[in-house]
Amino acid sequence: MGFLIGISGSIIVDQGGRFPGYKRAYVNNDYIESTALSGGVPFILPVLKEEEMIKAQAESIDGLILSGGQDVNPLLYGEEPTTKTGSPFLARDQSEQLLLKHVIDQGKPVLAICRGLQILNVAYGGTLYQDMSDIKESFIKHDQYNNTSDPSHSIMIKDGTRLHDLYGNQALINSFHHQAIKDVAPGFEVSAWAKDGVIEAIEKQGEQFVVGVQWHPEMMAKEHISMLNLFKLFMEHVQQSARKKVSI
């Protein structure tokens, strides 16, 4: 049997058609395809309120992918929302924070993508820039308008990190974000940044695989083996983690 990979989902509301206002649980299909291509069995995890159900979600999977989406509510990291922050989705923020902590407490691997990186950082005590314009030193375009699978800028990667083992000193990534990490959460280290200093990846210190990236590797994985390899690295750690639990 394959290893079960939970992918955090969101809710989309129909704006027209036969059922305007109708709510649907969903995740972009690139996450499903990238998980399957790397050898995992993808499962969409819907937004939930009840912690016991969220804990059961965490217990049922072998690894977690935190997907992208809405801005994280600034109130969660002690700031008032500015006019540049998008509409929050507090129920998702709360659901994913609990899901993250249960998965990490259970020693399971996590790959957090874009918003996923941001909620990971906030869940463990970090903060965010609410808009890229708040970073005076930033000069790179971090929200590309060309093809989603095309790389748009480079990143520099810290020696001794999991990403460095995979990519070496530099990599080319796509970019679709208007927020970024400000203060890194305790227990995490920066593993990649853009040439304007914007943080592009963090990793949890220690042996457990918990990696957050600001870009969207799932959008590039079909055409760029380097990005599929990130999912494969995640799956290697999923397998190792699952085997350790069986042998205990």
Q: Which residues are catalytic?
A: 114, 216, 218
Give me the residue label for tokens 């058609």: 17
Q: DSSP alpha helices (H): ranges in the chain?
A: 29-37, 51-60, 90-105, 115-123, 162-167, 217-220, 225-247
Rounded CA separation 156/104 (Å): 27
Rounded CA separation 128/89 (Å): 16
Q: SS in 3 state form for 171-222? A: EEECCECCCEECCCCCCEEEEEEECCCCEEEEEECCCCCEEEECCCHHHHCC
Rounded CA separation 228/33 (Å): 10
Rounded CA separation 20/15 (Å): 5
